[in-house]
């Protein structure tokens, strides 16, 4: 009987001793961690996509808590809702970032951009880019081997078999920028989603001279500069034979779209156009009536 | 027992079907496109503009630095324009396009066939002149020859190796030069020896060219310090480091140049070009190109002006076969498929290979079974399967530690892989990325 008793007493004693040592150690080596980090991490989407520029949501939460001004920091996956919640927890002002979406700036479908040779190396855009100029005459356009699709963690991209080009599923895209980094030709860009998802952009990145670009692809930007002239808001610039629409200045008037001789400017999610000349006539009649 | 290099190597079918065909002069092309980057290093700067009249052999683009080369007009005529053309690398490169009118050569060039044995110039003058004449390594790497002839301070060249290996299957241009221009070659070797201040030169030739070995051995017997070394047939013996290992038994350390072990290697094509440049004052404006392949009716070796479209060469060799699959610039191991037939012949084009459809296409890629055949085949002692995985997973620092930069891109790994994995494709990608990282670090 006494053996049992001694055993129990020893174990209890050891346990108590260990508890005291552990308690003292935890007091001595205590690391203070802001409890708000956990709270913020809780609201973040836990996608760990890196779209914010930090390695994972925990690191982003730490950065948010640490920063005095969080208006520059943004979680593209969570968007304004999540950032508002974070701002509430931290008592700081959240920045107003317009939601963005990935845009593939190439329209070199098999039809528009004839294949002049056939690639059969490893099926990866970066490998092809390290080997040669591509299957078409355009040395700027999409290779069509799907590195961007592979990079996407949100099922927001797929390769269109018919056109040979990647397509962004707008509803799934969180603008994390993984595809932008994956593309060896910098074709994909994050642009403002725009009101009602309406956007206008130059659907081409070819910097060749007009004739060369046109020969390689029917719908290439030839750098003619017509859109630059017609834009009333100075939102379009022309550099290296390539027009670029700055989404912060563009007011979506769509004048450039009609002006482009190669149809390389694309409008997305707009309602169908009214008959333009008729509308113009009506407008002039109206002003005439008013003047009378 | 014949000499060869120690590590790795493979034995592809030789198929030297054009070996018996003597060098023919190809008629002048109507229009040439002369890229301004036909060498490793800085692009040459064009000196002519649209509408200028040029003579054959006139300087049309000046060297853009020490590691760069002059470019001379291969034809006489009128400059049509300067524009970008796709060259054998598959990328668009700036080029000078000239419309041929007649064939009027620069007066300073000696066009006679007379053998000039006396070397009038001093060592320094020879180096300067090879630079002026735009001579580059004609085995394919196109490294400017005058740079190779100027060893860095503190390093001394002990032995000159002449590369007559031609280990690529199908190619025979160097073989024909050794047979038909053997006397000129001997003078060329003397010139190189004088420039490098060495008294020993060894010509390495693979044992599948007994006629070249015989002829050059007879000639070398009369010369002091020149010898011929027959070598066992093994690919890639024509690689600079492999040839040094095979002949001298010395191994170039990782990341170093052959001069580190006191050797300098020049191709026989380059040696012949040096002879013509020094003794005949003739710049590098033409070269011997093999046109070959199973479907080609008349496999040939042509003497072609630089800038000639490859389509014209194929036409002269009997045209494209019906079952054509790929046109390759260079040999089947290291060559690159051409994107069209307008690609111009450049200083580094040693051959045009036309492969039929069934031979040209890659088999479907399967999984790596870790059989380690690629490791046994690698002549640089690397682990290709590992380098491929590292490149795939973007583990650049690990790839650098595994000496990815030592890869000579010979393609032995891809050739030997039973799962047809695109090993070299990924290793090339890795080399590009790691090279960039190293450059940014310095």
Q: Which two tokens stand for residue A180?
A: 């932008």
Is B45 inside any structural domain? Answer: yes
Whether B138 maps to a domain, the answer reads: yes
Contacts of A122 in chain B (CB under 8 A): 365, 422, 425-426
In a domain, B14, yes or no: no
**Same domain as B271, residue B293:** no
In this structure, are B344 and B215 located in the same domain?
Answer: no
Q: Residues A68, A183: one domain?
A: no
**Measured between alpha carbons, how far is B411 from B195 in angstroms, rounded to an integer?**
34
User: Chain A contacts of B429, Cβ < 8 Å?
Assistant: 126-127, 130
Q: Are B268 and B317 part of one and the same domain?
A: no
Both B145 and B271 in a single domain? yes
Q: What is the pLDDT of residue A79?
A: 83
Domain match, B429 and B326 both: no
Instruction: State whether B89 and A132 contact (CB < 8 Å).
Output: yes
**B68: in domain:** yes
Nearest to B426 among A120, A122, A133 (CB): A122
Does any CB of chain B come closer than 8 Å to the CB of residue A240? Answer: no
Q: Which of A115, A119, A128, A131 to mutate to test the interface with B (most CBs of B within 10 A)?
A: A131
pLDDT value of position A49: 87
Which run of H or E residues covers position A202?
strand A199-202
Residues B233 and B133 in one domain: yes
Is the Cβ–Cβ distance between B380 and B408 less than 8 Å? Answer: yes
| Chain B residue with minimum CA distance to A126 | B429
Please tell me which residue of chain B has the smallest CA distance to A116.
B339
pLDDT at B67: 92
Residue A141: which residues within 8 A CB-CB, separation 6 or more? A106, A108, A113, A134, A185, A187, A204, A205, A206, A216, A217
Are B274 and B313 members of one domain?
A: no
Distance of residue B432 Cα from the nearest chain A Cα, in angstroms:
7
Q: Is residue A31 part of a domain?
A: no
Range of the domain at B344: 26-103+285-359
Number of domains in chain B: 3
Residues 6+ away with beta carbon under 8 Å from A5: none
By the CB < 8 Å criterion, does A215 face chain B?
A: no
Residues B49 and B169 reside in one and the same domain = no
Q: At what angle do helices B182-196 and B173-180 cross, to 10 degrees?
A: 100
Q: Do residues A127 and A156 both lie within one domain? A: yes
Where does chain A have alpha helices with state H? 2-28, 35-43, 57-66, 79-90, 125-131, 147-151, 178-182, 210-216, 226-230, 255-259, 276-291
The minimal CB distance from B429 to the residues A130, A132, A139 is found for: A130
Handedness of CA A191, A195, A201, A203 (dihedral sign): positive
Are A71 and A121 members of one domain? no
Distances (CA, A) of B131 to A166, A171, B65, B407: 49, 61, 11, 28
- Substitution target in B337, B360, B423 with the highest count of A β-carbons within 10 Å is B337
In chain A, residues with a C-beta closer than 8 Å to the C-beta of B92 are 133, 139
Minimal C-alpha gap between A93 and chain B (Å):
38
Q: Which of B425, B430, B433 has the most A C-beta neighbours within 10 Å, making it the best mutation to test the interface with A?
A: B425
In a domain, B108, yes or no: no
- The DSSP 8-state label assigned to residue B258 in this structure reads G
- DSSP, residue by residue, B271-340: HHHHHHHHHH---S-EEEEEEE-TT-SS-EEEEEETT-BHHHHHHHTT---TTEEEEEES-TTT-EE-S-
B429/A120 CB distance under 8 A = no
Q: Does A139 touch chain B (CB under 8 A)?
A: yes
| A290 in a structural domain | no
**Whole-number Cα distances in Å, B385 to B402, B427, B429:** 11, 9, 14
Which position has the token pair 């094509």?
Answer: B269
Residue B429 placed within a domain: yes
Query: Domain holding A164: CATH number?
Result: 3.30.70.20
CB contact under 8 A, B84 and A212: yes
Q: Confirm or reject contact between A126 and chain B (CB < 8 A).
A: yes
Which residue in chain B has the smallest CA separation from A120? B362
Residue B331 sits in a domain of what CATH number?
A: 3.10.20.600
Indicate yes or no: CB of A122 within 8 angstroms of CB of B337: no
Beta bridge partners of B342: none
A133–B340 CB contact, under 8 Å? no
In a domain, B212, yes or no: yes
Picking from A277, A280, A265, A199, the residue whose alpha carbon sits closest to that of residue A228 is A265
Q: Kindly state whether residues A106 and A81 are assigned to the same domain.
A: no
Helix axes of A35-43 and A57-66: crossing angle, nearest 10 degrees:
130
Q: List pLDDT tens digits, range B262-301.
A: 999 999 999 999 999 999 999 999 999 999 999 899 999 9
Q: Are B378 and B362 in contact (CB under 8 A)?
A: no
> Between chains, do B425 and A117 touch, taking CB under 8 Å as contact?
no
Give CA separation, B77 vs B32, B36, B85, B95, B101, in Å. 10, 18, 19, 16, 4
B34: closest CA of chain A, how far (Å): 19
**Are residue A112 and residue A188 in the same domain, yes or no?**
yes
What are the tens digits of pLDDT across the range A119-142?
A: 888 889 999 998 888 888 898 999
Question: B329 - beta bridge partners?
Answer: B336, B352
The pLDDT tens digits of the residues spanning B79-102 come to: 999 998 999 988 889 999 999 999
Q: What is d(CA B313, CA B300) in angstroms, rounded to the nearest whole number?
A: 9
Q: Residue A280 — pLDDT band, cuts 50, 70, 90?
A: very low
Indicate left, alpha or beta for A144 from its phi (over 0: left) and psi (-120 to 50: alpha). left
Q: Which among A131, A139, A208 is the nearest to B428, CB-wise?
A: A131
Q: Is A89 on the interface with B (CB under 8 A)?
A: no
Does one domain contain both A189 and A240? Answer: yes
A127 touches chain B (CB under 8 A): yes
With a CB cutoff of 8 Å and minimum separation 6, the contacts of B379 are: B5, B7, B8, B9, B236, B239, B241, B242, B408, B410, B412
Closest partner residue to A132 (CB to CB) among B90, B365, B426 is B90
- Interchain contact A121–B (C-beta under 8 A): yes
Domain boundary among B237, B263, B280: B280
**B157 and B37 in one domain?**
no
- How close B422 gets to chain A, by Cα (Å)? 6
Residue B7 is assigned to a structural domain of this protein: no
Contact A109, A87 (CB under 8 A): no
Q: What is the pLDDT of residues A169-211, one digit of tens each?
A: 999 998 889 999 999 999 999 998 888 889 999 999 999 999 9
Percent of chain A with pLDDT over 70: 93
Check whether residue B134 and residue B270 sit in a common domain. Answer: yes
Indicate which of B334, B393, B404, B422 best probes the interface with A, i.e. most A CBs within 10 Å of its own CB. Answer: B422
Residues A109 and A206 in one domain: yes
DSSP per-residue letters across A9-46: HHHHHHHHHHHHHHHHHHHHT-----HHHHHHHHHS--
Shared-domain flag, residues A155 and A70 = no
Instruction: Give the pLDDT confidence score for residue B26 in this predicted structure.
Output: 95
Q: In this structure, is residue A273 part of a structural domain? A: no
Q: Which residue bears the tokens 């010395």?
A: B250
Q: Are A211 and A204 in contact (CB under 8 A)?
A: no
When pLDDT is cut at 50, 70 and 90, the band that residue A217 belongs to is very high
Q: Which runs of consecutive H residues, i.e. helices, occur in B149-239?
A: 173-180, 182-196, 210-222
CB contact under 8 A, A122 and B365: yes
Whether residues B429 and A139 touch (CB distance < 8 A) is answered with no
Across the interface, which of A120, A127, A130 has its CB nearest the CB of B361?
A: A120
Burial tier of B133 (Cβ tally within 10 Å: 0-12, 13-18, 19+) = buried
Distance from CA of A17 to the nearest CA of B (A): 48
Residue A9 counted as domain residue: no
Q: Find the closest chain B residue to A122 by CA distance.
A: B422
Q: Is the pLDDT of residue B61 over 90?
A: yes
> Looking at the structure, do residues A175 and A216 belong to the same domain, yes or no?
yes
Query: How many domains is chain A built from?
Result: 2
Q: How many residues does chain B have?
A: 442
pLDDT digits (tens, 9 = 90+) for B353-412: 999 988 888 889 999 999 999 999 999 999 999 999 999 999 999 999 999 999 999 999
Contact criterion met (CB below 8 Å) for B267 and B137 = yes
Mean pLDDT across B92-120:
92
B195 and B336 inside one domain: no
How many CB atoms sit inside 10 A of residue B158's CB?
15
User: How much is the pLDDT for A275?
Assistant: 59
Pairing type for strands B226-231 and B201-206 reads parallel
Minimal Cβ distance to B90: which of A122, A133, A208:
A133
Q: Is A130 on the interface with B (CB under 8 A)?
A: yes
Last residue of a domain, one of B296, B330, B359: B359
Q: Give the gap in angstroms from C-alpha B27 to the nearest C-alpha of chain A.
A: 28
Same domain, yes or no: B273 and B398: no
CB contact under 8 A, B91 and A120: no
Over residues B162-192, the pLDDT tens digits come to 999 999 999 999 999 999 999 999 999 999 9
SS (H, E, C) A113-139: CCECCCCCCCCCHHHHHHHCCCCECCC
Same domain, A109 and A246: yes
Say how many C-beta atoms besides its own lie within 10 A of residue A41's C-beta. 19
User: How many Å apart are CA A65 and CA A69, to the nearest integer?
Assistant: 10
B336·A132 Cβ contact <8 A:
yes
CA distances from B123 to A268, B43, B191, B269, B275 (A): 69, 27, 8, 20, 14
Q: Tell me, yes or no, whether A84 and A106 share the same domain.
A: no
Sign for the CA dihedral angle at B15, B17, B19, B20 comes to: positive
Asked if B340 lies within 8 A of A116 by C-beta distance, the reply is yes
Helix (H, G, I), strand (E, B) or coil at A266: strand
Closest Cα in chain A, distance from residue B415 (Å): 14
Q: What is the pLDDT of residues A18-52, one digit of tens each?
A: 999 999 999 999 888 888 999 999 999 988 888 88
Measured at the alpha carbon of residue A193, what is the angle toward residues A190 and A197, in degrees to the nearest 5? 145
Instruction: Give the ipTM of the model, two decimals please.
Output: 0.85
Of A121, A132, A212, the CB nearest to B339: A132
- Confidence at residue B46, expressed as pLDDT on a 0 to 100 scale: 94
The mean per-residue pLDDT over the stretch A59-72 comes to 88
3-state percent breakdown (helix, strand, coil) of chain B, nearest 5 = 30, 20, 50
Q: Which residues of B touch A (CB under 8 A)?
A: 84, 86, 89-92, 336-337, 339-340, 361-362, 365, 422, 425-426, 428-429, 432
Whole-number Å distance between alpha carbons of A107 and A165: 8
> Euclidean distance between the first and final Cα of chain B, in Å?
46
**Can you tell me which residue has the tokens 């013996």?**
B237
Report whether B299 contacts B17 (CB < 8 A).
yes
Range of the domain at A199: 100-268
Instruction: Using alpha carbons, select from A51, A40, A64, A73 the residue that is nearest to residue A175.
Output: A51
A190 and A123 belong to one structural domain: yes
Task: Check CB contact under 8 Å for A127 and B429.
Answer: yes
């Amino acid at each position: 009987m006494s053996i049992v008793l001694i055993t129990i007493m020893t174990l209890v004693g050891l346990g108590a001793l260990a508890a005291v040592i552990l308690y003292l150690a935890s007091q001595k080596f205590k690391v203070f961690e802001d409890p708000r980090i956990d709270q913020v991490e809780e609201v973040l989407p836990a996608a760990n996509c890196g779209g914010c520029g930090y390695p994972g949501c925990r690191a982003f939460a730490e950065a948010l808590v640490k920063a005095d001004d969080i208006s520059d920091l943004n979680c593209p996956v969570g968007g304004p809702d999540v950032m508002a919640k974070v701002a509430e927890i931290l008592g700081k002002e959240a920045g107003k970032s317009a939601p963005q979406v990935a845009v593939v700036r190439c329209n070199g479908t098999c039809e528009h951009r004839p294949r002049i040779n056939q690639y059969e190396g490893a099926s990866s855009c970066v490998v092809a880019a390290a080997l040669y100029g591509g299957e078409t005459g355009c040395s700027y356009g999409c290779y069509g081997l799907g590195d961007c699709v592979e990079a996407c963690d949100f099922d927001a991209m797929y390769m269109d078999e018919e056109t040979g080009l990647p397509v962004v599923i707008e509803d799934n895209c969180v603008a994390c920028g993984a595809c932008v980094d994956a593309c060896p030709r910098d074709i994909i860009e994050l642009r403002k989603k725009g009101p009602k998802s309406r956007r206008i952009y130059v659907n081409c990145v070819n910097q060749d001279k007009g004739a060369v670009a046109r020969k390689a692809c029917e719908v290439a930007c030839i750098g003619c500069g017509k859109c630059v002239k017609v834009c009333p808001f100075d939102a379009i610039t022309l550099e290296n034979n390539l027009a670029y629409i700055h989404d912060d200045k563009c007011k979506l008037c769509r004048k450039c779209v009609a002006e482009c001789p190669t149809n390389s400017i694309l409008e997305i999610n707009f309602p169908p156009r009214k008959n333009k000349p008729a509308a113009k006539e009506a407008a002039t009649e109206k002003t005439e009536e008013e003047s009378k | 027992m014949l000499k060869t290099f120690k590590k790795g190597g493979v034995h592809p079918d030789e198929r030297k079907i054009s070996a018996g065909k003597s060098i023919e002069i190809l008629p002048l092309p109507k229009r040439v496109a002369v890229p301004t980057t036909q060498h490793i290093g800085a692009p040459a700067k064009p000196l002519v503009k649209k509408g200028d009249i040029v003579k054959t052999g006139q300087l049309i683009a000046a060297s853009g630095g020490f590691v760069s080369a002059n470019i001379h007009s291969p034809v006489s005529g009128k400059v049509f324009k300067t524009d970008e053309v796709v060259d054998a690398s598959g990328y668009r490169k700036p080029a000078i396009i000239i419309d041929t009118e007649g064939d009027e050569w620069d007066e300073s060039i000696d066009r006679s066939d007379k053998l000039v044995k006396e070397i009038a110039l001093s060592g320094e003058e020879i180096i300067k002149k090879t630079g002026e004449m735009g001579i580059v390594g004609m085995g394919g790497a196109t490294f400017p020859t005058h740079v190779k002839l100027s060893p860095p301070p503190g390093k001394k060249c002990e032995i000159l190796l002449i590369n007559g290996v031609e280990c690529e299957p199908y190619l025979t241009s160097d073989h024909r030069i050794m047979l038909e221009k053997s006397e000129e070659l001997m003078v060329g070797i003397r010139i190189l020896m004088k420039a490098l201040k060495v008294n020993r030169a060894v010509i390495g030739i693979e044992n599948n060219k007994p006629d070249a070995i015989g002829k050059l051995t007879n000639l070398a017997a009369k010369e002091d310090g020149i010898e011929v070394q027959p070598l066992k047939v093994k690919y890639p013996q024509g690689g600079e480091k492999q040839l040094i290992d095979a002949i001298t038994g010395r191994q170039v350390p990782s990341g170093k140049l052959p001069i580190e072990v006191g050797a300098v290697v020049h191709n026989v094509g380059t040696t012949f070009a040096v002879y013509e440049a020094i003794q005949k004052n003739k710049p590098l404006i033409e070269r011997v190109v093999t046109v070959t392949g199973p479907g080609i009716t008349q496999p040939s070796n042509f003497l072609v002006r630089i800038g000639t479209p490859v389509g014209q060469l194929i036409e002269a060799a009997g045209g494209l076969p019906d079952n054509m699959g790929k046109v390759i610039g260079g040999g089947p191991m290291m060559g690159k498929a051409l994107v069209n037939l307008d690609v111009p012949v450049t200083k580094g084009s040693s051959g045009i290979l036309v492969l039929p459809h069934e031979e040209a296409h890659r088999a479907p890629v399967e999984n790596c079974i870790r059989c380690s055949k690629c490791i046994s085949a690698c002549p640089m002692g690397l682990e290709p399967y590992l380098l491929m995985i590292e490149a795939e997973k973007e583990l650049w620092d690990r790839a650098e530690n595994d000496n990815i930069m030592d890869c000579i891109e010979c393609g032995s790994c891809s050739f030997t892989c039973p799962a047809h994995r695109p090993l070299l494709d990924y290793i090339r990608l890795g080399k590009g990325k790691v090279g960039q990282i190293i450059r940014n670090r310095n």
